[in-house]
Amino acid sequence: MSATLTEKYPNYSPGLEGVIAGISTISEIDSDRSSLQYRGYDVHDLAEHGSFEETAYLLIYGKLPTTAELASFKAVLSAEREVPSQVYDVLRALPKDTHPMDAIRSAFSTLAPFDPDYEAPSTDDAANVRKAVRIIAKAGTMVANGHRIRNGLEPIKPNPAHDTAENFLYLMTGQEPPAKTVQVMDASLTLYAEHGFNASTFACRVTVATLSDLYSGIVTGIGTLRGPLHGGANEEAMKMLLDIGTPDKAQAWIDDALEGKKKIMGFGHREYKKRDSRAIYLTKVAKELGIEKGDTRFGEIADILEKTMEERKNIHPNVDFPAAYAYYLLGIPIDLYTPIFVIARVSGWSAHALEQLRNNRLIRPKCIYEGAANLDYVALENR
């Protein structure tokens, strides 16, 4: 059907594929080179040598921080991690089987009116930056404590000495996390932080382009990420790995899946012709984590799947594949994988919202009408 429509309407691109919808200085995806850069810096360098806090600062302020700037930024994040008790009241009121993505969406909606800059105009750039920092600070707290609440546990206060990754892991378990787990979580947050005009980012920009507030843009982003065609791939990839179970079953499983033309979760990406650059470093640290924990089965399964997919389909893993078993080895429930995506991506969404509002124009594309025309109105009694 789409081929017929595109022949009929040469300017029509289903899903807006290939359509340039804006100009940005935030990130660049180079499909041919399998490269992703945040404001000119390779994500590998940021993930391996930097931190999520440095990355968030880079995205929000447009440059890497100095030592003093990073210390000040971390201090603000630490001071802003706690959330109003009313947010927890709302999370307690939700049904216990509420999906965590619905919970974090509700949490951000509840949080918005408590922001000290809530009444500031949408065009107040300084207020928007302050909001963005608070959003980044509180996301992990709300996801982790939301998980505690749904399990009948009381929320824990964040430890001011913790950075974002460590804070999340601490709140999840109530225990100080080992250094390696913090490294893996921090790397995943850095790699998930930003990725161009993807569906949730574009939806966020559309929302704030109406001069709606930053929180509305974040809630829009979460609602868009909630859909399985955008978020959730890491969850499905982990279910696939658990279905395979052990390395000795992996080859037969992938052979059968390819024979039956099943979709192999965690492989391929619309933006990359070759390899998803984010997957390279995360695969490395995820396998290191498995060795440290004495559980290498998922890394071994991954090796078999990756080799087979490359040889037979020339398709490589995307970032969701190593993230899946990395999070599993960290003891994180599978339905929290996409909310972790939110913890990272609020930095990218906020950066795009700020960029949109600084040079704003209402986003209003056209559509092609193919419905009926010139119908005669029929009185109600004659229908």
CA-based end-to-end distance of the chain: 33
DSSP state of 377: P
Q: Which two tokens stand for residue 65?
A: 């921080």
CA separation (Å) from 48 to 224, 262, 288, 336, 374? 29, 34, 13, 24, 62
216: amino acid identity, one letter: S
Q: Which two tokens stand for residue 85?
A: 């008790």
Q: Report the alpha-carbon angle 141-129-282, nearest 5.
A: 50
Q: How many CB atoms lie within 10 A of CB 172?
A: 21
Q: How far apart are CA 48 and CA 319, in angstroms?
A: 15
In our burial notation (b when 16+ CB lie closer than 10 A, e otherwise), range 313-347 reads eebbbbbbbbbbbbbbbbebebebbbbbbbbbbbb
Q: Report the alpha-carbon angle 272-276-277, nearest 5.
A: 120
Annotated catalytic sites, by residue? Answer: 269, 320
Q: How far apart are CA 319 and CA 266, in angstroms?
A: 7
The three-state secondary structure class of 76 is helix
Instruction: Answer whether 283's CB lies under 8 Å from 317's CB.
Output: yes
